[in-house]
Amino acid sequence: MRVLVAMSGGVDSSVAAALLVEQGHDVVGATLKLWGGPSDSGCCSVADVEDARRVAQQLGISHHVFNMSEDFEASVVAPYVAEHARGRTPNPCIECNRHIKFDRLLERARRLGFDALATGHHARIVPDPERPGRRRLRRGADTGKDQSYVLSMLGQDQLARLVLPVGDRTKASVRAHAAHLGLRTAGKPDSQDVCFIRAAEGREGFLGRRLALHPAEVVDLDGGPVGTVPAVELVTVGQRRGMGHGDDGRRRYVVSVDVPGRRVTVGGLDQAMTGTVALAAGTLRWVGDPLPPGARALAQVSAHARPVGCTVGRGPAIRFEQPQRPVAPGQTVALYHADDPDAVAGAGVTA
């Protein structure tokens, strides 16, 4: 099989390429140049490209750099800024997967004659036991490093052309294999931050260069003033940092953000809890057959959140079995099968 491996310069994609080479596949590495601005973290730096190139050299495979910076700006960075201007909290890494890695890159791999695209994500693609010829996306074997959440928007067409070589391995075994092969990325730390935001400037500095930030009043649920924030565009629903404490001494949480009205509403945790989250129209996508209204599932609202029981409603909406902290508009909610908790059923973006 001829496989194009997306090599980010990290240890997971390095070992993904190595395993495919060991299995006898015709492997070519590709690193994406996504961000044209300054970067000191993530997977877009010059050092990351060099690490990927050197690993490919060690493995004896060809390596290419694909410049997709214009697509990245249009599909990830610009929407990230626009969403904050609306008081929403997007997940740029998921949008990069949605629009760049598993759309543009996957299509380029097809046009170049590759049979499959491989990445270093910790997730597994397995046959669907109920539907011959179809696939299920399952959590990675290492539950602490599972990345099925950030792949939850993938459909059957994408899964059919995708290979995840490290999904059935623990992170420790991945590093051990890299060390055994002498790969320069064996001890490289995992990327944690948004690649286009420098640590020194943070989200405030980045967004402040791209949109006007406005101060806002902070009010309680009765509309009474309790403080101010320097930039309403940086406040997230569910946030507690910077919101102070109520008269009862308990922490306050953001219940809603009104950017045009320059107002942030806060309440106690019990007041902020919610039983339902609405999904934006057209964003709900299923890995396989859609779950019907009324079906039970497990919902995960962030990469490291604990899955919680829910019911799929109309609208579309997700009804939690127990009240949960509010989910910020713009976040992805991944749904897992109730009878197969490791298998992704689908995902949508909160309205």
Q: What is the DSSP string of 50-90?
A: HHHHHHHHHHT-EEEEEE-HHHHIIIIIHHHHHHHHTT---
- Is 268 inside any structural domain? yes
Are residues 173 and 27 both part of a single domain?
Answer: yes
Task: Please state the length of the chain.
Answer: 351
223 and 92 in a single domain? The answer is no
Q: Is residue 22 part of a domain?
A: yes
Does some domain include residue 20?
A: yes
Residues 232 and 100 in one domain: no
Tell me whether residue 137 is in a domain: no
Owning domain of residue 329:
274-349
> Exactly one of 43, 44, 93, 96 is catalytic; which is it?
96
User: Do 40 and 25 share a structural domain?
Assistant: yes
- Looking at the structure, tell me whether residues 63 and 6 fall in a common domain: yes
Contacts of 72 (CB under 8 A, 6+ apart): 32, 34, 35, 96, 100
What CATH number does residue 223 fall under?
2.30.30.280
Q: Is 151 within the bounds of a domain?
A: no
The answer to whether residues 63 and 99 belong to one domain is yes
Catalytic residue (choose from 43, 93, 195, 310): 195
Task: Give, for 346, the enclosing helix (H) or strand (E).
Answer: strand 340-349
Question: Are 290 and 237 in the same domain?
Answer: no
Half-sphere exposure of 171 (CA within 13 A, CB side): 15
- Structure confidence at residue 38 (pLDDT): 61
User: Has 93 been annotated as catalytic?
Assistant: no
Q: What is the pLDDT of residue 45?
A: 75
CA atoms of 133 and 127, how far apart (whole Å) = 7
Is residue 15 domain-shared with residue 88, that is, in the same domain? yes
Q: Which regions of the chain are under pLDDT 50?
A: none
Domain CATH code at residue 336:
2.40.30.10
**Residue ending a domain, choose from 231, 251, 272:** 272
Q: Is residue 190 domain-resident? A: no
Same domain, 289 and 172: no
Q: Give pLDDT, residue 200.
A: 87
- 176 in the same domain as 48: yes
> Does one domain contain both 219 and 85?
no
Catalytic (active site) residue 96: yes
Of 255, 272, 289, the one marking the end of a domain is 272
Same-domain status, 47 and 172 = yes
On whether residue 241 sits in a domain, the answer given is yes
Tell me the whole-structure pTM to 2 decimals: 0.95
CATH number of the domain that residue 30 is part of = 3.40.50.620
284 Cβ contact partners less than 8 Å away, ≥ 6 residues apart: 316, 346, 347, 348
Q: Would you say residue 33 lies in a domain?
A: yes
- What is the spatial distance between Cα 117 and Cα 4, in angstroms, rounded to a whole number? 5
Our count of domains for the chain comes to 3
pLDDT at 290: 96
